[in-house]
Amino acid sequence: MITLTTKAADKVKGILEQEKENLPEGGLRIYVQGGGCSGFQYGMVLDEISEGDQVIEAEGVKVIVDPMSLRHLEGAEVDYKEDLMGGGFAIKNPNAQSTCGCGHSFTPGEGEPQPEGAKH
């Protein structure tokens, strides 16, 4: 299960509202792919649901995750934070052995599968 904080959900709802003509049945796709400073990186994009995707309703937002990414994101929480440098989404991932200082990449725990099929 992936959760969104109220702040993150409100931000995504606002963005989806602006894009409703282009993406009437879409949601927030969260994925994992190889790369970043720690070996894997997170990605988020507004997208339509594809065959095989898992769709999780979180705080009134459709969260779309491909099966490979879901293995790495199980139990993760998505938050939205604002500071002097601007705002952005942050993922707290209990499956990460370590997380880069930027917060956008991580090293998976022992035995975690590679995200080769991750959609982006």
Pick the CATH number of 3-108 from 3.40.50.1000, 2.30.30.140, 1.10.3730.10, 2.60.300.12: 2.60.300.12
DSSP structure class, residue 4: E
Which two three-digit tokens encode residue 80?
A: 């939205």
Q: What is the mean pLDDT of residues 9-38?
A: 86
In contact, 63 and 49? CB cutoff 8 Å: no
70 — pLDDT class (breaks 50, 70, 90) = very high
Q: Report pLDDT for 4.
A: 96
Q: What is the mean pLDDT of residues 28-41?
A: 80
Residue 79 carries which side chain, given as an amino acid letter? D
